Amino acid sequence: MACQSYANQSDANQSDAKNTADPTTQLSSRPQLKSSVRPRLNQVAASAQAAKAQLVDIRSVNPGIRLDLRYATANNFMHRPLYKEARCLLRAIAAKQLSQVQTDLEAIGLGLKVYDCYRPLSVQKQMWKLLPDDRYVANPANGSRHNRGSAVDLTLVDRTGKELTMPTDFDDFTDRAAINYDGASTEAKHNRQQLKEAMTKRGFVPLLTEWWHFDAASWAQFPVLDVPLEAVL
């Protein structure tokens, strides 16, 4: 119930923002009003930043990869949606590598399901406020590799899309999420290892504290971004 109420509240806030933006847009079409210049410049700056972001939508690279973008829903540790759109955006090089992992897995009757990809810096700041523990959330002062479009959170699914058993759920911030946690079932440990091998084979680097998180090896080439997901074309 609490989650539902958060979701409604967020929807209401988004609607409000949209409504208040409309009169501004109308004003900006009237050049005689000097006050209209600033909103228009802001719009131009936002779209220029989005154009330079060079993020690609994984659906356009490999539509076989399944999506469960948790931060676009209330089903996450923040208990409210943090994204306006459920999209997996990545740098092109990381998206291509992830597509290769999917192709490898399909050959053995498996596939990927992603929980999170590119994450704007402003969302990172919200997460850090709630969970300032750098074992699980990167300090926004440095930025996360997710903020660079160079990290992905994901799991394995079978041919029907059913998730394979893993040691924990996504975003379980306990020692059980560590990639070397030995107390999980044999099946869960096998699946965790299979995910790790499939990802590292194509150049991704695992994270010690979270079995679901992988960095693209190229992450350092790319800057931290704060472009909203819905602004990326």
Q: Which residues are catalytic?
A: 210
Residue 68 vs 153, nearer CB to Zn ion: 153
CB of 116 to Zn ion, least distance (A): 6
Query: Nearest approach, Cβ of 204 to Zn ion (angstroms)?
Result: 11
Q: Is 213 annotated as a binding residue?
A: yes
Quickly count: other Cβ atoms within 10 Å of residue 164's Cβ.
17
Least Cβ distance, residue 229 to Zn ion (angstroms) = 16
Q: Is 158 annotated as a binding residue?
A: no
Q: Which is nearer to Zn ion, 87 or 213 (CB)?
A: 213
CB-wise, 28 or 124, nearer to Zn ion? 124
Tokens representing 85?
């759109």
> How near is the Cβ of 109 to Zn ion at its closest, in Å?
26
Yes or no: say if 124 and 146 are a contact pair by the CB < 8 Å rule. yes
Contacts of 98 (CB under 8 A, 6+ apart): 58, 61, 62, 65, 90, 112, 114, 152, 202, 204
Q: Which residue is nearest to Zn ion (CB)?
A: 213
Q: How far apart are CA 208 and CA 94, in angstroms?
A: 20
Q: Which residue has the tokens 């990290």?
A: 151
List all residues 6 or more positions away from 35 whose beta carbon is below 8 Å from its beta carbon: 27
40: exposed, middle or buried (C-beta count within 10 Å: 0-12, 13-18, 19+)?
middle
| Nearer of residues 36 and 179 to Zn ion, judged by Cβ | 179
Confirm if 83 and 68 have CB atoms less than 8 A apart: no
Is 190 labelled a binding residue?
no
Nearest to 113 by CA among 74, 169, 167: 169
Query: Which residues make up the interface to Zn ion (CB under 5 A)?
Result: 153, 213
Binding site: which residues?
146, 153, 213
Sequence ranges of the binding site for Zn(2+): 146, 153, 213
